[in-house]
Chains A and B, each alone.
Chain A
Amino acid sequence: METIEVRFHLDWPGFSLDVDCVLPDRGVTAVFGHSGSGKTTLLRCIAGLERARQGFLSFKGEIWQDDTTWRPTHKRPLGYVFQEASLFPHLTALGNLRYGLRRATTEHKVSLEQAVELLGIGHLLDREAVRLSGGERQRVAIARALAVSPRLLLMDEPLAALDLKRKQEILPYLERLHDELEIPVLYVSHSPDEVARLADHLVAMKDGRIVASGPLMETLARIDLPIRLGEDIGVVLDAVVGERDEAWHLARMDFQGGSLWARDMGAAAGSRMRVRVLARDVSLTRQLQAQTSIQNLLPARVSAVADDEHPGLALVHVQVGPSILIARLAKRAVAALDLSPGQEVWAQVKTVAFLE
């Protein structure tokens, strides 16, 4: 059983956690929700830092917690990155890295050199932990968690305490982790951009409960449960920069089933990128418009129509090849166009949101 099975029930004054789910054993799983939704508590339960009285946790067939078993944190092969810098102040950066390395019991899949190189902290090793900047500290903390060669990496909003500039500094390293390591990562975040950029799977939490769980793109495109990642509902597409139109500063983003022209952000042709297409930026027409300012017209097929939060609005899901887009339309427009599942339409995409 190559999965992580999680069942926790916990009652605190004013808060209860009640989760029962199976998490994938590979890729980045984002645990997303507002503060107070219980995502950090879930992570702490998995790490063994919090003990739910009723709980079951099995990691790839190993029981870490059940009615009779309790494996303490220090015997769980995991790495944990805390929200705020948590380096030991009495040690240097290297001393911090070695602390876990010396105590690691798992065979070494990630070497110290690899962790140092991945996070780009080679020049910081001799520095005292207290003399590092916030961003540097968090990079060392991530390298420290990696250097124990964990079989599961838990990250609790590792970027939340940093300003935008520091976030930009660390995100590329996290993307490298994602691409180069085969460790399953549970990434707690309330930042839509981080989730859209890093996650393969999404676990959405609310009030101590899991409201949705599944592959990121599918879950975001679920019609029965539109998940608002940030300011608006939308989908995330895995795209490759196909062509750059340098005269007009545009780049063609090829995704499964179609392509979209977007602002040229400077990425070279062939590089992978994730883009978001928000529901408010998609409109539908029955006929192909010849003269329109919209640059992206995609043949699509309506797959579902659902109510939006406002009684006057509807969310229409359309299939573009295997990919899904969501359009927010006035219900009157839905009626006027007589939209129903199976219908062929043109999706007009006004703009593409980049993740930064």
Chain B
Amino acid sequence: MLLSGSDMQAIWLTVKLASIVTVILLLVGTPIAWWLVRTGSWWKGPVGAVVALPLILPPSVLGFYMLLAMGPAGPLGHLARALGVVPLPFTFWGLVLASVFYSLPFMVQPLQNAFEAIGDRPLEVAATLGASPLDAFFSVVLPLARPGFLTAGIMTFAHTVGEFGVVLMIGGNLPGVTRVVSVQIYDHVEALEYGQAHRLAAVMLIFAFLVLLALHAWRPDAKKG
């Protein structure tokens, strides 16, 4: 076995985290992206900016605020206590919540592009054929935006796999709970276990390469040689 038990545990934890975050963001990001494309509201700008914040904000800054929000005095902390899922910091679900915010733009922006590319016409056609707006969304927009969903899903998953700063701020470094692959590699390096760090890092490298390859192959308009 090339990878140790704790390495495998970290990989499993990472995959679980990224999967859950991707599913949550599909459900949360889709309406946000749709709203951003269709609205004529003044709020479009501010909301779009907040969604895009994680793209340029240092993860430690985001993590710091998330930590405060999740603390006993923070709004998320209050909410968590009311729902009976305390505490949030240094738990797996705290990590999920933070990752949802951190990866939000990676879900919303590809979806927004996909929805924008569809334009008004298919929706108008659907309306003249008797489809309500909700019906048209599911019967026309979703099928037409499928490549966008694929891209958004892959980007979100991959980005969540790769996060480090937010994990350290929110999750700390608890084996099996919050110790994801990126943190595990950091630990190996700290402990001067370069061999193990190498193997795990190689896994990540291959993963990242495969993701980008898959994105290329699945792009519907990709010119394949």
Which chain A residues have a beta carbon within 8 Å of chain B's beta carbons?
A: 47-49, 72-75, 78-80, 82, 86, 88-90, 99-100, 103-105, 144-145, 148, 154
Contacts and interface: CB of A to CB of B under 8 A. Distances in A.
A74 B131 contact: yes
Given A82-B121, A99-B139, A103-B135, A90 B144 contact: yes
B125 interface: yes
B193 to A, nearest CB: 51
B192 to A, nearest CB: 55
B121 A100 contact: no
Which applies to chain A's interface (DSSP): helix, strand, loop or mixed? mixed
Contacts of B2: none
B122 interface: yes
Contacts of B126: 74, 99
A49 B122 contact: no
Given A103-B131, A148-B130, 19 more contacts: A48-B127, A49-B128, A73-B128, A74-B128, A74-B129, A74-B131, A74-B132, A74-B136, A75-B130, A80-B128, A82-B121, A82-B124, A86-B122, A88-B140, A99-B126, A100-B130, A103-B135, A105-B130, A148-B129
Given A99-B139, A103-B135, A88 B122 contact: yes
B128 A79 contact: yes
B143 interface: yes
Closest 4 CB pairs of A and B: A103-B130, A100-B129, A80-B128, A73-B127
Interface centre among A72, A75, A86, A145 (most CB of B within 10 A): A86
A78 B121 CA distance: 17
Contact of A88 (B125, B132, B133): B125
A72 B127 contact: yes
Nearest to A86: B125
B2 to A, nearest CB: 44
30 contacts: A47-B128, A49-B127, A72-B132, A73-B127, A73-B128, A74-B130, A74-B131, A74-B132, A74-B135, A75-B130, A78-B128, A79-B128, A80-B124, A80-B125, A80-B128, A82-B124, A82-B125, A88-B122, A90-B140, A99-B126, A99-B129, A99-B131, A99-B139, A100-B130, A103-B129, A103-B130, A104-B130, A145-B128, A148-B130, A154-B128
Contacts of A148: 129-130
B94 to A, nearest CB: 40
Nearest to B136: A74
Contacts of A105: 130
Interface residues of B, number: 18
A105 B131 CA distance: 11
A35 B127 CA distance: 25
B129 A144 contact: yes
A331 B8 CA distance: 100
Interface in B124-158: 124-133, 135-136, 139-140, 143-144
Nearest to A48: B127
A94 B124 CA distance: 19
A144 to B, nearest CB: 7
B131 to A, nearest CB: 6
Contacts of B130: 74-75, 100, 103-105, 148
Nearest to B139: A99
A72 B132 CA distance: 9
Contacts of A72: 127, 132
Nearest to A144: B129
A154 B125 CA distance: 12
A79 B125 CA distance: 9
Contacts of A79: 128
A263 B104 CA distance: 72
A90 B143 contact: yes
Interface string B42-53: 000000000000
Nearest to B142: A90
Contacts of B125: 80, 82, 86, 88
A141 to B, nearest CB: 9
Given A88-B140, A90-B144, A99-B129, A73 B122 contact: no
Contacts of B127: 48-49, 72-74
B143 A73 contact: no
Nearest to A104: B130
Nearest to A73: B127
B64 to A, nearest CB: 45
Nearest to B121: A86
Contacts of A49: 124, 127-128
A146 to B, nearest CB: 11
A269 B130 CA distance: 44
